[in-house]
Amino acid sequence: MFGFDGLFTGMIQEPTLILFFGLFFLFILLAYKVVKLLVRALIVTVLAGFFPVFANMVLGMSIPITLDNIIWFAMTGAEIFFVYHILVSMGQLGEILMKPFSRKKVKTVEKVIIMEKNNDKHEKK
């Protein structure tokens, strides 16, 4: 009816179909990561926009609560979040790239000798 009758039947013979599903999986994974990042950025932006209100009520500061100030704090919070995220991503990429060049730590193995009571008798003789 919709053309899905033979969709899964020749999958091993059809490398383009395997490539299609691989790209589809990568798209879903990438879209999930982007949406997760944008939701976190939105939360940070809203919280940063409320900072002038918090600073005035709790900290006793005298920041004028205007739309311009709220937008400025919100955008500054979003910029700081994205710069932070870029720096963390660059650090993780650097760790991945430098992993083959790092020295492997030698693990020391400690021997633990457990002596049973019966073995003690043989040692005393």
Alpha helices in the chain (DSSP H): 15-49, 51-57, 67-98, 117-124
CA distance 8 to 10: 6
Decide if 82 contacts 65 (C-beta within 8 A). no
40-68 pLDDT, tens digit per residue, is 999 999 999 999 999 989 888 888 888 99
Q: 44, 78 in Cβ contact below 8 A? A: yes
1: confidence class by pLDDT, cuts 50, 70, 90:
very low
Burial string for 27-43 (b: 16+ CB within 10 Å, else e) reads eeeeeeeeeeeeeeeee
pTM for the model: 0.61
